[in-house]
Amino acid sequence: MPKEGLTLLLIECPYCGPRDEIEFRNGGQAHVPYPADPSALSDRDWAEYLFYRDNPRGRFAERWLHTAGCRKWFNAVRDTAIYEFAAVYPIDAPRPEAPADSRPGALHHSAEAPSGSHTGARPHSAEAPAPTSSSTPTGEGGNR
């Protein structure tokens, strides 16, 4: 159970709706194409395909897995600087396009995007009782 004052994100699963962030796992950069002929790649090129990913500050398309829910993969556009989700969409849908004014949460879907695509995640305060000294991991009432 979350500690008092802890703020969780509500991430909008495109299949299940909004859920607490602890139900999800990040799967890295989205829309990374598989090499057309992997056997033709050098060891260096294959290693770059497997391990090298963009890591920008700002909006970034990522893959997410709803581990504690439907167990389905989906994509999300998330601002890596402020952890805001601008859009979530099914894994096989195209990335939503940013409008000219590019404000947070202002993404829209192209004509090919399915109508079931959702936007964003909302902050969510967890209501939980304050931890007591007997509930600490060490049982001694002190900080670890």
> Going residue by residue through the chain (144 aa), what tens digit of pLDDT does each one get?
556 767 788 999 999 999 999 999 999 999 999 999 999 999 999 999 999 999 999 999 999 999 999 999 999 999 999 999 999 999 999 998 865 444 444 444 443 333 444 444 444 444 433 434 443 344 444 443
32: domain CATH number?
3.30.2270.10
Say how many C-beta atoms besides its own lie within 10 A of residue 1's C-beta.
Answer: 10
Q: Which residues contact 89 (CB under 8 A, 6 or more apart)?
A: 14, 74, 75, 76, 95, 96, 109, 113, 114, 117, 118
**DSSP for 1-13?**
-PPTT-EEEEEEE
Tokens of 37: 């002929």
Looking at the domain assignment, is residue 138 inside a domain?
no
**Residue at 144 is within a domain:** no
Q: Rounded CA gap, 46 and 48, in Å? A: 5
- Classify residue 76: in a domain, yes or no: yes
Residue 143: inside a domain: no
**Within a 13 Å sphere around the CA of 65, how many CA atoms are in the beta-carbon half?**
7
Range of the domain at 108: 7-130
Query: Has residue 23 been placed in a domain?
Result: yes
* Count of structural domains within the chain: 1
Residue 126: the pLDDT is: 41
Beta bridge pairs of residue 64 = 26, 74
Nearest to 68 by CA among 108, 112, 8, 19: 19
